[in-house]
Structure formats: structure tokens, C-alpha cells
Amino acid sequence: MTSDYNFAFLDENTKRMLRRALLKAVALPGYQVPFGSREMPLPYGWGTGGIQLTAALLGPDDVLKVIDQGADDTTNAVNIRRFFARVTGVATTERTREASVIQTRHRIPETPLREDQILVFQVPEPEPLRTLEPREAETRTLHALADYGLMHVKLYEDIAQYGHIATSYDYPVLVDGRFLTSPSPIPKFDNPKLDRSPALMLFGAGREKRLYAIPPYTHVESLAFDDHPFEIQRWEQQCQLCGSGDSYLDEVVTDDRGSRLFVCSDTDYCGQRRAERAA
Amino acid sequence: MYVAVKGGEQAISRSLELLAEARRGDPSVPELSLEQIREQLRLGVARVMQEGSLYDEELAALAMRQAAGDMLEAIFLLRAYRTTLPHFGYTRPLDTNAMRVRRRVSGTFKDIPGGQVLGPTYDYTQRLLEFGNVASEPSTQSDAPMPDVMPRVLDLLDAEALIERADAGSDPEPVDLTREPMMFPADRATRLQNLARGDEGFLLGMAYSTQRGYAESHPFAGEIRMGEVDVVICPEELGFAIEIGSITLTECQMINQFHGGHGLAPQFTRGYGLSMGEGERKAMSMALVDRTLRCDELGEPSVAPAQNQEFVLSHSDSVEASGFVQHLKLPHYVDFQAELSLLRTLSKQHAQQHPGEEACAAETSS
């Protein structure tokens, strides 16, 4: 750990500001709390929101896991883990079960989370209505009025045009029956894991300067219609490394003649299963 | 056989070594000193300080060297460092009236009290590449000493009530955008802060668009001045003001036509730009965009991109823009997989509904 910087890079006043904003977020599930996002030594869009939340949460006894695309060994996950090892000296792990704080980009681990764990999401665009309404002043008003007609019309138009809802990731959810919320660009496969999760889920958008939370055991509903219920992705294949039939699969191109291999995107989950089978 | 993409850690450390090598270049060529950068690349240093929101020539020079001359990277380095600095307080408003002027020009009057002073400018250099060493010629400055205080050109108009007052409209206490998030609609003080940190290229393009018919604002360069201004703080524990040094600034005051309306008398209006160091292009662009963004306050129809404050202010910051554009090179396997599944489903449906056509998805399923 380097002593040129304060523990976890940010000064204590900034961490206090972040914690206060987080408390507000927990008190208003799904509400986007504006916060004084700082410039971090990693680029905007690469997890600065998540990094700031993790920095505000970490204590010396925490065990940190960082994943990107479900994997611990993708370069950006490695880089963020290196960063925290450097500026906090906390223990890091690749095991979901061992971690007290997990920072993630684009996935929720397959291993069920517990009450004593916090999942921190990196969020590129916190506003679920943004692609439908670019003006921030307007979308804030729509949230205040809980006016989510725009999104329902969008989903309806999908059905009218394609026969089903054509959103496969960053699938909008309604948190605690009140705020329309972006689950971050996780595949909709992961949406059910948000509902009544025992773990606290925190979301940080550094560039957009917003954070929000889904407190433990909060009802999270993926938007759908009575005659077009919410569905998640399914594969005909199983993971070709661990044989899992119920995890999210990455498709790996193995040659230039159309051969494909399907493997778990969650590398820890896959590794644990293989270790168990070998034992 | 599938080989997992392992070894990210090793790849990163090797990449850092390669970067260090590439940055240094041929080791037989002496390394640039920070003094050389400060002294000989001072306009670059000024830009990095300005958009990095940190007035420190030494650190800006260090950032430029570390970034191998990539200005946006240098700005980013300085911003990230700035985050770690303790915050002691705010300065008193800078008094640019009392600037020790080194350059001062006006496009609106042939002669002005205090005179037109070209100072060090590239404007009349004819842009011929100077091969060989740049010989430093002894300065042949005019013997007449510069007046201590030069009245501002716009104040001359103010005396005749031909121009709106400098504090026209509301003038609330500014928020600190480095500590508070931008909220919309943003007041003018906040907008100016955002523009001050904004990317010079972006502002230049936005300003240019207003001259080419996208929100025509009929500007005149009322006054551009560059020189040194004292920085004064008033520490709470002391209770009186102390001068902590002086910094170089470039200030631009644009004068814009306004025919009146919306309950306001016809008069000239102002656009304001301020930049650290010698940043004339930036200050002028900022002044044009500032004036254009006042369309709502002045009751002008808002139709052009440069008049749309959410559009301009949300996209002006190079650190934000550069990070987000370039984050596309990060892995998106998971979302791409989700899109792939969706596209295959849609293709299958399409093939069923249009049996005559070739199904494009048929060959991709394994």
C-alpha cells in the first residue's frame, strides 16, 4: 500500500459526503441522488462511480472482489483491484463467498449473495429514460411524478413491432413500486437476482454524478405486461467447462469456420464447480 | 481447446513497461526538463492548467511530459491529482480591472484610453516555419511605461448606458462544480464555471457554429486583455485579506447586439470568457458560448445546439467525454451476448414470416 495518498485515495471529507449520499439513497430505494463526483485516477466510463462508492465503503478489514463481465481476470477488473490494493492494502479475493464488498461491471455473481455482503455496480447511464428523453430537467420531473408512460410505450412498441420486448440488457426495473431504475447494463438474465436480495446493492455513476441503492429485501420488478411476462435469456447449451445448465454463458469463437464454445461468464462460479467435480 | 483469457495482471505490467519506453523515446536524446516545458511550451502549460482546474505550472509541465504531449491525458492527470488536494477555501473575486496588462486589444474602437497593446501574440507572425534554432532576439519594448490601470472598454459604454450592466440578470453565489454536481437549469455563474473547464476544441466548434448561423449573436470583441492579476484570500481565522500571489489570466468581453424585447430595452449585451495563462482562443470561444447560452434570459428563441445548455454543458468536458468514448474498448462480452441471442431470435422469426428469403442466422448457431 502506498502512503502518498489517504486510505482509499479519497480524503475523509469526501468519503463522508459519499456516505451521506449513500444513506439518502438507501432511504429512497431507486432514487438517483446527485453527488459531488470527484475526478478519479481512472477514466470516466471505466468505473469511477463504483470506485468512489467502494472507496467510501472499504475499511481495513474488508475483503474486496472486483469483476468485469463476471470475470475477475479481465483487464479492467484487474486494474481496479490493483488500484485498491495499492491505496488501501485491503485483502482481495476472486471468491464470491469470501468477499465483503464486490464491485462489478455488467454482471451479478451466480453464487447467491448474503446479508453481510455489498454489491457495488458501475453505472454508465443511471437514467433509464435517457434514450427516450435526453433532457435531465425533464426526466427528473418525470420521476417526481412517477410518470413512466414513455417507457411503457417503448416496451409496447417493441411488442407491436417484433412480437416481444427487444431489450436484452440494462432492462428497466421498478424499485419498491416507486422509482423506475436502471439495473446498469447487466443482462436481463440477472434481473431476478435484484429482487429481495439479502445483499445491499449500490450503484455509482461517476461521470453522470448520480448514485442510488436497492436496500436488502427490496421488491424489484422487471417491467412487463400481463400478456407478455418478463423472461430471461436461456441457452440450449451447457457450460462446456463445468457443465452448468443455469448460468449466464459467454460465447467464445474458436475458429473462423463458425465453431463456438459456450462457457460460464462468472469465472469464480465456473472454477468452483470444476474444483468440486474434480474432488 | 478454449484457453481462458488469464494473465490480465501480467499483461498490464508489461504494457506499462512498454509505455514507459515509448514515452521516453531514444534514451540517447536528453529527457525534457520541466523547466524547458514551462518556459518553452507555455501555451500548452496554460491549457493544461485551465482545463485541469489547477494553477500550477510545475505540475502541468510534469503532466505534459508524463502524457507525452497528449494534452487531454495531461489534463486528466492534473484533475485526478487535484482530487487529492486539501481544500482550504475560496479566493476573493479576482479584480481583472487591476490587471497588470501585457496585451490588450479591442475590436470596437480605434483607440482607447490606455491604448491598444499587441503584446506577445501569434496573430501577425505570418506562420512561416522557422528552420534552425529559434534565436532569442533582445526585446525592443517601447520606452513608454504601461499605465497601471487600464479602464475597461465596456465600462466606457456602460457610462452611456448603452450596454447592460456587468451584473445584469441574477448573480447568485456560484456553486463549486468540482464539489457539487451540475444541475439543470444551470445559472450563469455555474455555466461559466463549466465552460472554463470545458475542452477548448469543443468550445471553439460551438462558438464557430454561432457565427455561421446557428444562433447568430452578432458579436464584437469589446476587449481582450492578458496580464497578471493578484490573488487574494481572506482566511476565516485571520479575518482580513491577504495576497497570496498573482496569476496570468486572459479575459475576453464580447459585445453583442440586442434589439430589446422581453421587457428589456434595446442595448448591447455581454458575453464573458476567462482563461488561465495566455488562452485567448479559449476565452473568446467561451465568451461567445456564454452569450449564446443566455437566450432564455433574454427571450431569444432557442433553436441551435449552442443555445441548448444541457447539450453544451453536458458534453463540454474533455475528461468526461474522452473517458466515455474510450470506454467502448472495454469488454462488453456479456451485453453483446445478450444482443446476439436477441438478434438470433428476431432473425428466426423473420425467416418464419418470410420463408422465401435466406435466413441469415442459420449458419451462426452451433
Cβ-proximal residues to A88 (8 Å cutoff; 6+ apart), any chain: A1, A7, A8, A58, A60, A64
pLDDT (0 to 100) of residue B138? 62
d(CA B77, CA B323): 12
**Chain B residues with CB-CB distance to A211 below 8 A:** none
Question: At B101, is the secondary structure helix, strand, or coil?
Answer: strand
Please say if A149 is a catalytic residue: no
d(CA A272, CA B122): 66
d(CA A202, CA A122): 9
Cβ-proximal residues to B345 (8 Å cutoff; 6+ apart), any chain: A164
Chain segment A192-202, per-residue pLDDT in tens: 999 999 999 99
Please say if A245 is a catalytic residue: no
Concatenate the DSSP letters of all residues of B10-48 into one string. Answer: HHHHHHHHHHHHHHH--TTSPPPPHHHHHHHSHHHHHHH
d(CA A212, CA A126): 8
pLDDT (0 to 100) of residue A37? 96
Question: At A160, is the secondary structure helix, strand, or coil?
Answer: helix
- On average, the pLDDT of chain B sits at 88
**Chain A residues with CB-CB distance to B8 below 8 A:** 73-75, 77-79
Interface probe for A, chosen from B72, B330, B341, B360 (most Cβ of A below 10 Å), is B330
A77 to chain B, any CB pair closer than 8 A? The answer is yes
| pLDDT beyond 80 at B147 | no
d(CA A238, CA A262): 7
User: B5 vs A73: CB contact, 8 Å cut-off?
Assistant: yes
Q: Which of A11, A78, A169 sits opposite B338 (nearest CB)?
A: A169
pTM for this predicted structure: 0.89
Residue type, B89: G
CA distance A39 to chain B (A): 5
Q: Is residue B288 within a helix (H) or strand (E), and if so which, with residue range?
A: helix B280-292
Give contacts of B 174-233 with A, CB under 8 A.
178-185
Give contacts of A 102-131 with B, CB under 8 A.
105-107, 124
Chain segment B280-333, per-residue pLDDT in tens: 999 999 999 999 999 998 888 899 999 999 999 999 999 999 999 999 999 898
Grid cell at residue B171:
448573480
Instruction: Report yes or no: B14 and B21 within 8 Å, Cβ to Cβ.
Output: no
| pLDDT beyond 60 at B358 | no
Q: Which of A44, A70, A137 sits opposite B185 (nearest CB)?
A: A137
* Residues of chain B above pLDDT 90, percent: 61
Tell me how far CA of residue B82 lies from CA of A37, A88, A130, B175, in angstroms. Answer: 13, 19, 30, 18
Q: Which of B83, B184, B346 sits opposite A137 (nearest CB)?
A: B184
Chain segment B174-221, per-residue pLDDT in tens: 899 999 999 999 999 999 999 999 999 999 999 999 999 898 778 999
User: A39 vs B346: CB contact, 8 Å cut-off?
Assistant: no
d(CA B354, CA B185): 50
CA distance B170 to chain A (A): 20
pLDDT (0 to 100) of residue A196? 98
Question: Among residues A126, A131, A136, A134, which one has the least CA distance to residue A185?
Answer: A126
Grid cell at residue A272:
468452483
User: B84 vs A6: CB contact, 8 Å cut-off?
Assistant: yes
pLDDT (0 to 100) of residue B5? 46
Interface probe for A, chosen from B85, B334, B349 (most Cβ of A below 10 Å), is B334
Please say if A30 is a catalytic residue: yes
Interface probe for B, chosen from A72, A138, A161, A168 (most Cβ of B below 10 Å), is A168
| pLDDT beyond 80 at A154 | yes
Selected residue with higher pLDDT from B62 and B172:
B62
**Chain B residues with CB-CB distance to A125 below 8 A:** none
**Distance of alpha carbon B332 from its chain centroid, rounded?**
31
Q: How confident is the model at residue B362 (pLDDT cuts 50, 70, 90)?
A: very low
| pLDDT beyond 50 at A220 | yes
Q: From the CB of residue B259, how many other CB atoms can be counted at a distance below 10 Å?
A: 10
A269 to chain B, any CB pair closer than 8 A? The answer is no
pLDDT (0 to 100) of residue B58? 97
Instruction: Report yes or no: A65 and A92 within 8 Å, Cβ to Cβ.
Output: yes
**Highest-pLDDT range among A246-260, B77-91, B249-263, B277-291:** B277-291
A259 to chain B, any CB pair closer than 8 A? The answer is yes
Please say if A264 is a catalytic residue: yes
Residue A221 backbone phi and psi in degrees, to 5: -115, 125
Interface predicted TM-score (ipTM) of this complex, two decimals: 0.86
Q: Which residue of B has its CA nearest to A74?
A: B8
Give the lowest-confidence range in A60-64, A86-90, B2-6, B303-307.
B2-6
